[in-house]
Structure 1
Amino acid sequence: MNYFERANELKDELSKNRQYIHENAEVGMELPNTCQYVMSKLKEMGYEPKVIGGSGVTATVGNGQGKTILLRADMDALPMKEESGEPFACKNGKAVHACGHDLHAAMLLGAAKMLKENEASIQGTVKLAFQPGEEIFQGSKALIEEGILESPKVDAALAYHVGPGKMPVGLHMYNDQNTMMYSNDGFKITVHGKGAHGAYPHLSVDPIHIAVQIYLGLEEIIAREVNSSSPCVMTIGKLTAGEANNIIPETAEIQGSIRTTSVENREIMVSRMKEVACKIAEVYRGTAEVEMISEVPPLICNPEFTKEILSYMSELDVPGQMGVPGIQASASDDFSVILEKVPGAYMFLSAGYPDKDVAPSHNPKVIFNEDVLPIGSAYLAHCATRWLENNK
């Protein structure tokens, strides 16, 4: 089967699936409508899908012999109101597919249909994974805990992520040498002090003062304790405390994230963040407790597998096909949790408009070019089929 020719024949169906998922966007780990829609489409194709990891969906196709490759698509949205102006904009007013996960799910549905049509020629097993909760960095972990990498055991994994912008469709971006995306360790520090009247601060243990000192102390970790040759980012995005201007509260809360390309720097920064918070609180007669909100490693692709996938992609006659190597993004994706356990690859596909200025991802006004849908579907199906042929 020529997967790209077939994917172009399915373009209207791919678009319909994408727009339904987009119009009915859901967030987090609970995606009941999206899950039901994907399940129903897979059943129409002849699959026997199963729910996994809350609202995730998995199914397999192939002859059940030899090796297994996992194809993953995330399908959760972001919690904001859409302002794209698209006729299929989310109708609930509470979520928007501003990161393209609706396209990912539609592309994998398209690949699933083509793989089922070509099942007799698949020399192994393709496992499909439709994942919830990527935006909150919980989905991959949940799928793994419920056995996505077992029965049958997964030998390799592949995922694509679309990107908006002033780029032509046909462009693909990858990194087969270094870290492609940063780690993400989200944290919440709760500072406990002693409340008092604002007129008598000496009777308090002021958690706001402690929180400010912790903030300043955390800034010094990157400045003085990690290797400056490896990129690191620590951001404090939330600091809250108190209810009134004349009351010293009992507690204060700091939330932030640590991102780095280095496993070693990640370990140093997370460990020192916890130590600095607790020790500074102790110095000022308070206490601090640290809760990790997310724990996502750097996303590192397997070099040999990535090169092999690139060779299969080049076999398809995709208009404007061009690869851009060495891409590194300071954003994060929890597909990295899967790539810690099995060799695999992750790439960006342009879903942009070279002649338009459009909003970036995670913006309520962002729009994506649906011309990428048959390209992504074809890459998924073709690369999985060819990898199984050559890795029996």
Structure 2
Amino acid sequence: MVSTFPNSTSVDLSRVRLSIRSLQPQLVEWRRYLHQRPELGFQEKLTSEFIAQKLQEWGIEHQTGIAQTGIVAIIEGLGTGNKGLEVKDESSQSPIANPHRPLSPEGTPSSPIPKVLAIRADMDALPIQELNEVPYRSQHDGRMHACGHDGHTTIALGTAYYLHKHRESFAGTVKMIFQPAEESPGGAKPMIDAGVLKNPDVDAIIGLHLWNNLPLGTVGVRAGALMAATEIFQCTILGKGGHGAMPHQTVDSVVVAAQIVNALQTIVARNVNPIDSAVVTVGELHAGTKWNVIADTAKMSGTVRYFNPAFEGFFKQRIEQIIAGICQSHGASYDLEYYSHYPPTINDAGMAEFVRSVAEQVVETPAGIVPECQTMGGEDMSFFLREVPGCYFFLGSANPEKGLAYPHHHPRFDFDETALAMGVEIFVRCVEKFLSL
């Protein structure tokens, strides 16, 4: 028999255990509460208070105020007979290799150390005015959960609740990381700097993103690069203004800027191996005040995206070379600011295989597993993945039949809430398998 929730029309949920399916109404309630109260990065006070209230109510140990509004909760398994982590050859891709497990004087593993798995969820919203006409629409003007972070927080809360109630089903430790400011300016690195991966040391980390680019009932998971590096540049071209009829008396910043915009496209076309993927986009260009006045300044800004970590630093250097050369040829000068926002989000091969093996138990295969799911979007989960082995994956959440297929960051973005229970099921199974008895 196919089990469905009221909001689902086509997904077989028989692989989601009844005890998690029974949480679905509560998950929906939490998600809609959060959706009505969106908060921007490092301003997630109401969200943080809601999470802390639930954790306290359930008796889950937690710490608040990390990187301003972040929270870390600790759930200790009660299972006995934990075998610790199997130490394999250094070349092994096993997701259960423990780099923190000490060796005895003879060079063999000492007594087993309980494993630690972290689960990360982001909490922040976007500066977007919601256009959805739903009972749970945003109550905060100009702010909206338009990327699914309300769902991420809800899935993590549901996972924490379930694991705390079923601590006998696993051994070791689960760290639930509720992170602020993923959209900007980035809360992962400040949380890492605050020590969230230490005491006890995290062996591996997982996280998910509800993904309206995939249909409900699918999981996008792959080894290696999943999401791109995000770099930002802002440039002001300094020319010499004048009368539109007397260009010989000027240094036209618009002409200089136009040539720069065109030339920047040659970086990907002629400096990047065609096998690699990269993007250079100029998203803003502002100049001039009147039709007959040659502008003395032009301002542009844009973004750079790439998967290959070897490109770190390359685009900054090449962009400045092009800008400097064109400005010099026209007698202009420039002011360039360049920011490396997030590195590429790169999954550990062993952890990606681990998550895939778990997801196959929850979604129908093989169609339910989507390995070709890369995106040039950026994610500061990348900072966690630089510190410990881990996997970030996409959980399909689109349902076009119900109009729930608008893209992320759209003012009408919404997702099929059936994905909430599916997310909890996947996280719980990951914990039970990773922290196996």
TM-score by length of 2: 0.80
Tell whether the 8 Å contact from 1:183 to 1:261 is kept in structure 2 after alignment: yes
Name the aligned partner's letter for residue 33 of structure 1. L
Question: Given that residues 316 and 338 in structure 2 are in contact (C-alpha distance below 8 angstroms), is that contact kept between their aligned partners in structure 1?
Answer: no
Confirm or deny: 8 A CA contact 2:360 2:369 kept in the other structure: no
3-state SS of paired residue (1:269): helix
Alpha-carbon distance, 1:378 to partner: 2.0
Contact 2:16/2:422, CA 8 A, preserved across alignment: no
**Cα drift, residue 339 of structure 1:** 1.2
Indicate the larger mover: 101-110 or 268-277. 268-277
C-alpha offsets along residues 138-178 of structure 1, whole Å, 9 cap, x if unaligned? 122222232222232222110111122672x32111112x4
Give 1:120 deviation, angstroms: 4.9
Does residue 52 in structure 1 map to residue 98 in structure 2? no
d(CA) in 2 for partners of 1:252, 1:37: 46
Which stretches in structure 1 are left out of the alignment for 5+ residues?
Answer: none
> Aligned match of 1:381 in 421, 425, 428?
428
The change in CA–CA distance for 1:156 and 1:50 in structure 2 (over 3 A counts) is same
RMSD: 2.6
Amino acid at match of 2:349: P
- Where does residue 307 of structure 2 map in the other structure? 261
Please give the residue correspondences for 1:167-246 in structure 2 after superposition, counting only pairs within 5 Å: 167=215, 169-176=216-223, 178-196=224-242, 201-246=247-292
Show the 5 A alignment for 1:224-373: 224-315=270-361, 322-353=368-399, 355-357=401-403, 358-373=405-420
Per mean C-alpha deviation after superposition, the further-off stretch among 291-300 and 331-340 is 291-300
8 Å CA contact retained: 2:214, 2:397: no
Residue-by-residue CA offset, 1:235-285 (whole Å, 9 max, x unaligned): 111011344445555532211111122223454323211222233333333
**d(CA) in 1 for partners of 2:141, 2:213:** 24
Q: How many pairs are equivalent?
A: 386
Aligned to 1:180, the other structure's residue is in SS state: strand
Percent of residue pairs bearing the same amino acid type = 32
The structure that is helix-richer by fraction is 1
Match of residue 37 from structure 2 = 24
Q: Can you give the 5+ residue segments of structure 2 that lack an aligned partner in the other structure?
A: 1-14, 79-112
Contact (CA 8 Å) 1:51, 1:58: kept in 2 or not?
Answer: no
Aligned pair in 2 of structure 1 residues 294, 139: CA closer, same or farther (>3 Å)?
farther
- Bigger radius of gyration among the two: 2
Distance of 1:251 and 1:28 partners within structure 2? 32
Instruction: For 1:150 and 1:107, locate their aligned partners in 2 and report how far apart those are by CA, in whole Å.
Output: 23
Matching residue within 107, 132, 137 for 2:155 = 107
Whole-angstrom distance in 2 between the partners of 1:155 and 1:141:
18
SS in 2 for 1:305: helix
Residue type of the alignment partner of 2:64:
K
Query: What is the deviation of 1:115?
Result: 1.8
Residues 62 and 125 in structure 1, CA contact (< 8 A), matched pair in contact too: yes
1:34 paired with 2:47, answer: yes
Give 1:153's match in structure 2, choosing from 177, 181, 201.
201
Report the TM-score, using the length of structure 1 for normalisation.
0.89
Q: Which residue of 1 aligns with 2:123?
A: 75
Q: Which residue identity is paired with 1:298?
A: P
CA–CA distance in structure 2, aligned partners of residues 71 and 85 of structure 1? 33
Counterpart contact for 2:214–2:395, Cα < 8 Å: no
State the partner residue of 2:143.
95
CA distance in 2, matches of 1:98, 1:42: 25
Partners of 1:354 and 1:239 in 2: how far apart? 35
